Structure 1
Amino acid sequence: MTNDQNQKESFSELKRRRFLQGLSFIGVGTGAALAEHILFNSNSKTEAANIPQETIITQQAATGEIPLRPLGKTGVQVSAIGLGGASLGQVKTKEEAMRVAHEAIDNGITFMDNAWEYNQHKSEEWMGEALQGRRDKVFLMTKVCTHGRDRKVAMQQLEESLRRLKTDYLDLWQIHEVVYYNDPEMIFRENGAIEALTQAKKEGKVRFVGFTGHKNPAIHLKMLSYNYPFDTVQMPLNCFDATFESFEQQVLPVLNQRGIAAIGMKSMSGNGEAIKKGIITPQEALRYAMSLPVATTVSGIDSLAILRQNLAIAKGFQPMNAQEMQALRSRVAEYAADGRFELFKSSKKYDADEGRLQHGFPPQREVPS
């Protein structure tokens, strides 16, 4: 074998290793065949990024580090588990919240979730303080909470979020809590909030845009029917969802087909009630959600103890295989059938006050007159 051949083979092997490391997946079967075909028959990074995540089987060995995954077609990688902003604002003290955020970042969590309205803005304020000196280590997302209001309100909220988060740009800005059946029409109307997403991205104040919601897959599909170039979509994904008004069954395949990054949330059914009742364990809940073809799973963490529990699961992450996932779905199907562990779908209990007020429903907390 000539030196040129040796160098060519060495380069090909290096290229292959870097490709697999970049995806943070080790493909087998059909997924691996597709990945290697693109890798060795094209020089296009775009084509590689366009491999549907659902075709890449995540047979990843635990490495002691939190896996990184591609954020759809953006070319960016994020940690497979994210830090939830709502729960960060519910930590007992600001000092402990700082420790939670810092320990999360120091242990490889890069995806930071938040929203303009969380805990009456405290979540953004605390996260902004926690990220001082660490902004370049994270992928920062927050959400705009217009709830049907117009582009101007959305842009005002963006400036407020940037100020509280102590940054001049967001990595991701998402429309929050699209949970009412007329929300898509309100968002996409002339001068609606969708125009703010386009404007903010054009002005360089946000890198990527998306939307979130927890109520019904039909509302997500209506949002997607407008064919707006969303980079991400956030939704509840857990073992109960799989058999009850299921985002996993109805929305996730559409996102993967389009190359839109799926962001999972409510992996422990929103309030952990199923865990408290012994129906599932934290390990089962988080492993199931992380085993789906998603970019990241946002986790509610309101203490150092919960952070360390979830870090242990994520660092030792072993994806469930198809049989394990189906066995868990079947085991909880009876409990899933009436939505008792997904009240964010089957009731208004978890709908935020900003949205309730804009849609004519009374708030859950007392609002100053």
Structure 2
Amino acid sequence: MSSDFDRRSFLKSAAIIGAGSIVPGKMTAMAQNTNSEKRSGGAIPRRKLGKTGIEVSALGMGGYHLGSAKTQKDAVEMVARAIDAGITFFDNAWDYHDGQSEEYLGSALKGKRQQVVVMTKVCTHGRDKNVAMQQLEQSLRRLQTDHLDVWQIHEVIYDNDPDLIFRPDGAIEALTLAKQQGKVRAVGFTGHKDPRIHLAMLAHNFPFDTIQMPLNCLDATFRSFEQHVLPEAQKRGIAVLGMKSMGGSGEIVTHGATRPDEALRYAMSLPVATTISGMESMEVLEQNIGIASGFQPMAANEMQSLRDQVKYWAADGRFERFKTTKMYDGAEGRKQHEYPPTSELPA
């Protein structure tokens, strides 16, 4: 979905980064136990992707926002800049901008595919294994590659999604088959609605390699993935991919709950393999590179202080609208679950 906030306001808030001091501190106890980081000078740290043997940058580039770039040329230039800065993890999904996001990324990675980790998502939304495998082939063509490093089931956000995914001939069988065929190296799932649904997926005890979820300083005290799903993923050795560090469309920052550097540092300080951030312009990309380069994790007391600071805004989910409304739910999923498209909803 398109952003619903004033980007200039976002960038104005970002300017505070230069004036804000980053307080060095030891990593939180949770992060100390799980994050093994490699770095060189002021470079963006790299971390292990769980048990996969894959190494990824601690900051990842979001695929939806890449597809929002003004032109394909802009997208190609942004990907080149991201790689030069040390970003190696690139997110995407079969349905982002009706395939345009995958096409942009595929063009941008010509001659650079071996330097990066490519993840995209299958958007069956209840449909069977055959549909999933067809979507995989389409994604591979758009991305101009013969394999994916990570393939995830997209937007597991409806209460009956786990049952539909794990039914006989369901999408979960496609994950197993694609891995057996060597078309994907690692598999997982993603969602942004409710930690209960993530836990219902994990209850099937499928050997997921990755799991993607919203992780930010507000989430810690409202319908919290950090409190309920993150520990379970750690226990199982599943690599966690964080997203929506600033609220999905930057609401946490643009409404004044916190600064961009605080928001992104908090998310990156959690025990995650990477934090995926939407960056549809060079300005936002440079902002996030500046925060991630030479990254130092927040100390436990800093993290708690930030949670306390934003507790009022966290209480009703007003800036985590992906949890409390349907405005962030993708068109393909809405269609398969027979919800009206956004265009038919009242203003």
Distance (whole Å) between structure 2 residues aligned to residue 273 and residue 295 of structure 1 = 24
1:71 and 2:40 aligned: no
How far the C-alpha of 1:318 sits from its partner, in A, is 1.1
Normalised TM-score (structure 2): 0.89
Distance (whole Å) between structure 1 residues aligned to residue 38 and residue 305 of structure 2 = 20
1:187 and 2:149 aligned: no
How far the C-alpha of 1:107 sits from its partner, in A, is 1.0
How far the C-alpha of 1:316 sits from its partner, in A, is 2.5
Normalised TM-score (structure 1): 0.84
Equivalent position amino acid for 1:235 in 2: M
Equivalent position amino acid for 1:330 in 2: D
1:208 and 2:186 aligned: yes
Aligned CA distance change for structure 1 residues 217 and 167 (closer, same or farther; 3 Å): same
How far the C-alpha of 1:54 sits from its partner, in A, is 5.5
How far the C-alpha of 1:274 sits from its partner, in A, is 2.2
1:144 to 122, 141, 144: 122
1:292-324 Cα offsets, whole Å, 9 max, x none, are: 000000010010000000000000311000000
SS for the counterpart of 1:194 is: helix
What residue number does 2:290 align with? 312
1:357 and 2:335 aligned: yes
Report the RMSD for the aligned CA atoms in angstroms: 2.0
Equivalent position amino acid for 2:145 in 1: T
Superposed, 1:1-369 pairs within 5 Å as 55-56=33-34, 63-365=41-343
1:154-188 Cα offsets, whole Å, 9 max, x none, are: 00000000000000000000000000000000000
Aligned CA distance change for structure 1 residues 156 and 59 (closer, same or farther; 3 Å): closer
Distance (whole Å) between structure 2 residues aligned to residue 29 and residue 365 of structure 1 = 45
Distance (whole Å) between structure 2 residues aligned to residue 161 and residue 177 of structure 1 = 17
Instruction: Give the conservation status (yes or no) of the 8 Å contact 1:179–1:219.
Output: yes
Unaligned runs of 5+ in 2: 1-25
How far the C-alpha of 1:363 sits from its partner, in A, is 1.3
Equivalent position amino acid for 1:305 in 2: E
Instruction: Give the conservation status (yes or no) of the 8 Å contact 1:59–1:319.
Output: no
Identity of aligned residues (%): 62
Aligned length: 320
Equivalent position amino acid for 2:99 in 1: H
Distance (whole Å) between structure 2 residues aligned to residue 277 and residue 185 of structure 1 = 38
Larger radius of gyration: 1
Aligned CA distance change for structure 1 residues 169 and 324 (closer, same or farther; 3 Å): same
How far the C-alpha of 1:29 sits from its partner, in A, is 10
Instruction: Give the conservation status (yes or no) of the 8 Å contact 1:54–1:256.
Output: no
What residue number does 1:36 align with? none
How far the C-alpha of 1:278 sits from its partner, in A, is 2.0
1:109-132 Cα offsets, whole Å, 9 max, x none, are: 000100000011100000000000
Aligned CA distance change for structure 1 residues 58 and 203 (closer, same or farther; 3 Å): closer
Instruction: Give the conservation status (yes or no) of the 8 Å contact 1:61–1:318.
Output: no
How far the C-alpha of 1:268 sits from its partner, in A, is 0.5
Instruction: Give the conservation status (yes or no) of the 8 Å contact 1:58–1:291.
Output: no
Aligned CA distance change for structure 1 residues 54 and 154 (closer, same or farther; 3 Å): farther
1:127-152 Cα offsets, whole Å, 9 max, x none, are: 00000000000000000000000000
Instruction: Give the conservation status (yes or no) of the 8 Å contact 2:91–2:276.
Output: yes
What residue number does 1:12 align with? none
Distance (whole Å) between structure 2 residues aligned to residue 201 and residue 332 of structure 1 = 42
SS for the counterpart of 1:264 is: strand
SS for the counterpart of 1:298 is: strand
Instruction: Give the conservation status (yes or no) of the 8 Å contact 2:219–2:314.
Output: yes
How far the C-alpha of 1:95 sits from its partner, in A, is 1.0
Equivalent position amino acid for 2:188 in 1: G
Instruction: Give the conservation status (yes or no) of the 8 Å contact 1:236–1:265.
Output: yes
Distance (whole Å) between structure 2 residues aligned to residue 59 and residue 65 of structure 1 = 11
Instruction: Give the conservation status (yes or no) of the 8 Å contact 2:165–2:172.
Output: yes
Unaligned runs of 5+ in 1: 1-27, 32-51
